[in-house]
Structure 1
Amino acid sequence: MPPILSVRDLATAFRVDGRWRPVVRGVSFDIGPRETVALVGESGSGKSVTALSIMRLTPRDASRITGAVRLQDRDLLTLSDAEMRRVRGGDVAMVFQEPMTSLNPVLTVGFQIAEALVAHRGLSRSAAEAETVRLFDKVRIPAAASRVHDHPHRFSGGMRQRVMIAMALACRPKLLIADEPTTALDVTIQAQILDLIKLLQDEEGMSVLFITHDMGVVAEIADRTVVMLDGRAVESGPTHEIFRRPTHPYSRALLAAVPALGAMQGRARPTRFPVVDRVTGESAEPGEAPDTVQPANLLEVRNLTTRFELRGGLFGRLRGRVHAVENVSFDLKAGETLALVGESGCGKSTTGRSVLRLIEPLAGSVRLDGEDILGLPPRALRERRRRMQMIFQDPFASLDPRMSVGAAIAEPLLINRLASRREAHARAADLLGRVGLKPEMADRYPHEFSGGQRQRICIARALALEPKLIVADESVSALDVSVKAQVINLMLDLQASLHLAYLFISHDMAVVERVSHRVAVMHLGEIVEIGPRAAVFGAPQHPYTKTLLAAVPVPDPARRGTRHGVRADEIRSPIRPPDYVPPERCYREVSPGHLVQVWGAEWEAAAA
């Protein structure tokens, strides 16, 4: 059968400072009927620009597109603007990475979908609203008839992405382009969206161009794969062939950097990622990290509770509370990594910030080297914070754009009066070298670095005061797969040399399995399971832990077409009425150090 989409020698260039800069260079591929083709590569490889060029959504005055893009018998690059508008949303639809920026915040989601139905299919307003409800049911949005009248901010991230998919399906397109549709989502929500796309593809008979940098997602969804590097397609073919026998060094490097769940079986300690040379394809399989765990506890957290009051009305009356962290307890030894895992809103980040008193807890105790941090006055707390630092998720947001990176790293030393200005800048240069950057980069500004380099700068700044404890809050979740591997290897090397303790906060279960000694699983502010990494991953006990692990995409094309079986409802809210009293929780020890919360009827129903 002839392909639905045929791309030949596609090239896109942007005008920058009066010169044409090529971004996509001679890319060619086909997408057959009912076929899913994945475009993979890291940020800057040209994946998204390829999709935007196909849709002719690049800036008209600042871009130039050449080649041929044939949708069945029409070359999209030769159509008029009016004809192309009929193609967009009608024959070809696109789902973007961040649905909140794609939805109008002042219009209801139902109105926005109905608008497309009126424009492309000529339906009346009442018929369009009825069709919108049907589409909401199709993409598994609960209570569809009432939710079509909600505004985008009333939906969770996963539900907003479902709204975008419903909008894309409104005009029954022949081709769906999905540009990183699951990158910003939790692992369970990602599994729901992947299952939904597979199901809708079967029902609607459409073809899919799926853009991602996650090779685990590629293995689960794609019939064929096109690997992109520097704007070029360096390898393409059936997905199972690329995973089994990648021919290009860059493909091998991408696959080597993918954390695969279950790869740590038989390994007692965290293990560095293998490093693959992008040019030669040669790799070196690293061994386990040395044992740096000390016998004594560095951090002891007991019954930590953090809540946020919700007030409203004329007199600011108490309407409820967010039970963000509820009665959480754990220990952390020097040289050890304890991972806090769970979905967005489960309380992981609030726990980390409460430990450092960046957020004031309501109750509990946090002891660092035996001293209760929560009882310290501000001056004493500032001195103790030298021993505990934080690495944030977004390095660009945590660096002052007007301050050179050398000054940003030296600043903690100057504020704490631990060095003169000259000594502080010498120390900053030394720390840049330690995290794999050149000392002469100290005079540059944050915007002159890539995302991975900025995260290394944040690690260098956290190390400036020689802390014993580092809270890493989703510190690698926004990075490309190979950059993520480099940063994690760096963190493991620093832990081995400096005996650092990490409270590693993440929702990426495959990464957590690679880097952690112990794992604590959080749900709605509570730890539902905690224990050694091998015990939690090898023999999970709590239904929520099993759900998280079942949702992880596995980079094995043999699993393609399988469904995760994850429930399609939204994550439950931690907001409680003012008179809510949390129930008493009990834990049982299933093996040495492996504790699981005793669950009730709600989890029995979920497990069933």
Structure 2
Amino acid sequence: MTDTGTASSPSLDTPGNGEPVLSVRDLKTAFRTGTGWTQIVKGISFDIGARETLAVVGESGSGKSVTALSIMRLLSPETSRIEGSVRLGGRELLTLPEAQMRMVRGGKIGMVFQEAMTSLNPLASVGDQIAEALSIHGRFTGAAAEAEAVRMLERVRIPAAKARARNLPHNLSGGMRQRVMIAMALACKPQLLIADEPTTALDVTIQAQILQLIKELQREEGMGVLFITHDMGVVAEIADRTVVMLGGEVVEQGQTEDIFAAAQSPYTKTLIAAVPRLGSMTGKGQPEHFPVVDRKTGVLRPAESRPDTVDHAGQPVLSVRNLVKRFDLTSGLFGAVHGRVHAVENVSFDLQAGETLSLVGESGCGKSTTGRAIMRLIEPQGGAISIDGTDILALDKARMRDMRRHIQMIFQDPFASLNPRIRVGEAIAEPYLTHKLGTRQEARAVVADLLERVGMDPQVANRYPQQFSGGQRQRICIARALSLSPKVIVADESVSGLDVSIKAQVVNLLLDLQQAFGLSYLFISHDMAVVERMSHRVAVMYLGEIVELGPSAAVFKNPQHPYTKRLISAVPIPDPSRRAQVRKVANDEVRSPIRPADYVPPQRSYREVSPGHVVQEWEGDWKM
């Protein structure tokens, strides 16, 4: 294979010993608004050396992603203004002509974005997209570029890379697409890799794979890495040094070990305290609040264990038996069924009053489909669902609408759940008025009370959803779910899209509301550390089936099924001293739940490990 590229500009070659790969000084970025210029990044400075990872950490709106886009000069010059100095290998980038800057992007600096699907061309195969990047930067052409694209896919541990190179992006899983983005970013052997929240939307096992992959490739290539995240757990896993941003400014920076050991800023302490840590609870086996730091004083309020108020002997408020949901796959002129997605297969569990049962597993395991089937937002093919002894599958639409007073749902994306044209007070009051529980005047009083209960000022009832942050919008959705005084709330990934400290606040709020109202939660999540803190019991799902079910403490301290062990072992460890250790991370992808049309699921058997703790039997050496 011949490299057909031309020699690089000397000023952009890999820097010599001791010289930083990237040097940022007094970087300022402003955006044009209707009233003038608004400063977003307010004079930040840092260096990144070869084989060094610098994490820029902060919550949404802190300016960390704008910092990365400013370095890459990807902001429109008509609506933005960048000042300061950004030097790559000693060469100033902010004054570089655009034609030369285009060659720096992808050639000298690679970038991996948060959502791979929006960054990849949906109409071109992933191999062609990598080959195109190689051709543009003059490294390879024609068949050589195609062969190098396959080699890059192999380097990022994509199995059957030659065949996968012909796939369109939508044919690949989220983890696979993110690997393709990394392969494309590294194709031209950049000096610097900028990774902007590359694991936020991924399942915990896929996140572990991507973090380990970036570390391995960094060691092999000798590149610097700028890693942008809001999760201090990920920072501990990957970063040599850390910059903490708040409101466009640096509030703290230093060696990652020093920051975790003795953070100085109250804001940094808040981020560290909010990191979910497996095994960090008091050991009472009950749901427990996250520890919270007062941002002004820096004082830590320790975690509080909840008393167990669950009546395990009483009639369950929700009972699910042998639930089945399959989706037909059709083809041909007459829509013949050629296969089925076995999304939920023979799922059974009970939920007691005042209890939290968590359904956990990776994307595609069937946990969200289970929640939607229980709500009858989709109709199951088989099984039984009862609320307080009433079989809801036997109810007509009118009676089911009445039954929904007792079971409500909180979705993952609060913005998509709220009508942007309706004030939040009206959105909260709507279910109350629809079910004719009171007058409009009474509804206003209920709205004010609920907003206070979820920690918001009742005066905000007149605002629109777009005037709130993500965490505030989720509180509004919780208030709306409570407006009917339900017995059960199905929370479907309701905190997964939130910043880590906001996530801690919302989890604490859910625990407080459960104690105040005696609520039962079916908590659907892939975040094992949050699940441990929220749950009385845990059900682990894989390929539409429950493979392990038991009390939270039993499942986390004594996991039995290989898949449960895999999920727990993949959780980031918020201990920077362990960063140099190479974690064994399986690169398997979750198998497809698609089966032939004539497929008959096997009969499963379970064994009881301890009281209430059961695990599905498996044969031989279990694999994904």
Q: TM (normalized to structure 2)?
A: 0.96
Equivalent residue pairs, number: 605
- My pick for the range that moved more, 583-592 or 106-115, is 106-115
Q: One-letter code of the match for 2:271?
A: L
> What is the match of residue 465 of structure 1?
484
Which secondary structure state, in structure 1, belongs to the residue aligned with residue 448 of structure 2? helix
Of 333, 351, 359 in structure 1, the residue corresponding to residue 378 of structure 2 is: 359
Is the counterpart of residue 213 in structure 1 residue 222 in structure 2? no
Q: Does the Cα contact within 8 Å between 1:11 and 1:65 map onto a contact in 2?
A: yes
> What is the match of residue 247 of structure 2?
230
Of 202, 216, 223 in structure 2, the residue corresponding to residue 185 of structure 1 is: 202
For 1:352 and 1:601, the matched residues in 2 are separated by 32
User: CA shift at 1:424, angstroms?
Assistant: 1.5
Is the counterpart of residue 60 in structure 1 residue 90 in structure 2? no
> What is the match of residue 334 of structure 2?
315
Structure 1 vs Structure 2 CA RMSD: 1.1
> What is the match of residue 567 of structure 1?
586
User: CA shift at 1:426, angstroms?
Assistant: 2.1
> What is the match of residue 12 of structure 2?
none
Q: Does the Cα contact within 8 Å between 1:339 and 1:520 map onto a contact in 2?
A: yes
Q: Which ranges in structure 1 are unaligned for 5 or more consecutive residues?
A: none
Of 149, 158, 161 in structure 1, the residue corresponding to residue 175 of structure 2 is: 158
Of 413, 433, 441 in structure 2, the residue corresponding to residue 422 of structure 1 is: 441
> What is the match of residue 119 of structure 1?
136
- My pick for the range that moved more, 13-22 or 584-593, is 13-22
Q: Does the Cα contact within 8 Å between 1:306 and 1:325 map onto a contact in 2?
A: yes
> What is the match of residue 185 of structure 2?
168
Q: One-letter code of the match for 1:384?
A: M
1:457-606 matched pairs, under 5 angstroms: 457-601=476-620, 603=622, 605=623
Is the counterpart of residue 138 in structure 1 residue 155 in structure 2? yes
For 1:143 and 1:253, the matched residues in 2 are separated by 44
For 2:300 and 2:519, the matched residues in 1 are separated by 28
Of 255, 264, 273 in structure 1, the residue corresponding to residue 272 of structure 2 is: 255
User: CA shift at 1:203, angstroms?
Assistant: 1.1
Of 391, 403, 426 in structure 2, the residue corresponding to residue 372 of structure 1 is: 391
For 2:375 and 2:291, the matched residues in 1 are separated by 33
For 2:445 and 2:151, the matched residues in 1 are separated by 64
User: CA shift at 1:564, angstroms?
Assistant: 3.4
Q: Does the Cα contact within 8 Å between 1:93 and 1:173 map onto a contact in 2?
A: yes
> What is the match of residue 6 of structure 1?
23
For 1:15 and 1:150, the matched residues in 2 are separated by 41
> What is the match of residue 436 of structure 1?
455
User: CA shift at 1:570, angstroms?
Assistant: 2.1
Q: Does the Cα contact within 8 Å between 1:97 and 1:180 map onto a contact in 2?
A: yes
1:11-50 matched pairs, under 5 angstroms: 11-50=28-67
For 1:405 and 1:307, the matched residues in 2 are separated by 36
For 1:489 and 1:329, the matched residues in 2 are separated by 28
Q: One-letter code of the match for 1:248?
A: S
For 2:191 and 2:236, the matched residues in 1 are separated by 23
For 1:563 and 1:386, the matched residues in 2 are separated by 50
Q: Does the Cα contact within 8 Å between 2:282 and 2:305 map onto a contact in 1?
A: no
Q: Which ranges in structure 2 are unaligned for 5 or more consecutive residues?
A: 1-17
Q: Does the Cα contact within 8 Å between 2:351 and 2:357 map onto a contact in 1?
A: yes
User: CA shift at 1:331, angstroms?
Assistant: 0.9
User: CA shift at 1:265, angstroms?
Assistant: 5.2
User: CA shift at 1:374, angstroms?
Assistant: 1.3
For 1:478 and 1:433, the matched residues in 2 are separated by 23
Distance 1:592 1:414, change over 3 A: same
Q: Does the Cα contact within 8 Å between 1:308 and 1:323 map onto a contact in 2?
A: yes
Is the counterpart of residue 77 in structure 1 residue 94 in structure 2? yes
Q: Does the Cα contact within 8 Å between 1:588 and 1:595 map onto a contact in 2?
A: yes
Is the counterpart of residue 104 in structure 1 residue 99 in structure 2? no
Q: Does the Cα contact within 8 Å between 1:96 and 1:180 map onto a contact in 2?
A: yes
Q: One-letter code of the match for 2:465?
A: P
Is the counterpart of residue 408 in structure 1 residue 427 in structure 2? yes
CA deviations on 1:573-608 (whole Å, 9 max, x unpaired) are 1111100000000000000100000012361x56xx
Report percent identity of matched pairs.
67
Q: Does the Cα contact within 8 Å between 1:550 and 1:564 map onto a contact in 2?
A: no
For 1:44 and 1:260, the matched residues in 2 are separated by 25
> What is the match of residue 399 of structure 1?
418
User: CA shift at 1:315, angstroms?
Assistant: 0.8
Which secondary structure state, in structure 2, belongs to the residue aligned with residue 23 of structure 1? strand
User: CA shift at 1:417, angstroms?
Assistant: 1.2
User: CA shift at 1:425, angstroms?
Assistant: 2.2
For 2:391 and 2:113, the matched residues in 1 are separated by 47
For 2:335 and 2:64, the matched residues in 1 are separated by 49
CA deviations on 1:39-88 (whole Å, 9 max, x unpaired) are 00100001100111111111111111111111111011111111111111
- My pick for the range that moved more, 255-264 or 115-124, is 115-124
Q: One-letter code of the match for 1:449?
A: F
> What is the match of residue 266 of structure 1?
283
User: CA shift at 1:18, angstroms?
Assistant: 4.0
- My pick for the range that moved more, 122-131 or 45-54, is 122-131
For 1:24 and 1:246, the matched residues in 2 are separated by 22
Which secondary structure state, in structure 2, belongs to the residue aligned with residue 583 of structure 1? coil
For 1:293 and 1:88, the matched residues in 2 are separated by 57
- My pick for the range that moved more, 594-603 or 29-38, is 594-603
CA deviations on 1:348-393 (whole Å, 9 max, x unpaired) are 0111111111111111111211111111222221111101000000
Q: Does the Cα contact within 8 Å between 2:139 and 2:188 map onto a contact in 1?
A: no
User: CA shift at 1:109, angstroms?
Assistant: 1.1
Of 334, 359, 381 in structure 2, the residue corresponding to residue 340 of structure 1 is: 359
For 1:561 and 1:100, the matched residues in 2 are separated by 31
Is the counterpart of residue 89 in structure 1 residue 109 in structure 2? no
For 1:569 and 1:591, the matched residues in 2 are separated by 30
User: CA shift at 1:278, angstroms?
Assistant: 1.4
Q: Does the Cα contact within 8 Å between 2:414 and 2:473 map onto a contact in 1?
A: yes
Q: One-letter code of the match for 2:278?
A: L
User: CA shift at 1:196, angstroms?
Assistant: 0.7
User: CA shift at 1:164, angstroms?
Assistant: 0.4
Is the counterpart of residue 382 in structure 1 residue 401 in structure 2? yes
Q: Does the Cα contact within 8 Å between 1:121 and 1:171 map onto a contact in 2?
A: no
> What is the match of residue 3 of structure 2?
none
For 1:124 and 1:284, the matched residues in 2 are separated by 60
For 2:582 and 2:121, the matched residues in 1 are separated by 32
Q: Does the Cα contact within 8 Å between 1:198 and 1:561 map onto a contact in 2?
A: no
For 2:292 and 2:406, the matched residues in 1 are separated by 32
Q: One-letter code of the match for 1:323?
A: H
Which secondary structure state, in structure 1, belongs to the residue aligned with residue 338 of structure 2? strand
Q: One-letter code of the match for 1:538?
A: K
For 1:121 and 1:180, the matched residues in 2 are separated by 29
User: CA shift at 1:511, angstroms?
Assistant: 0.4
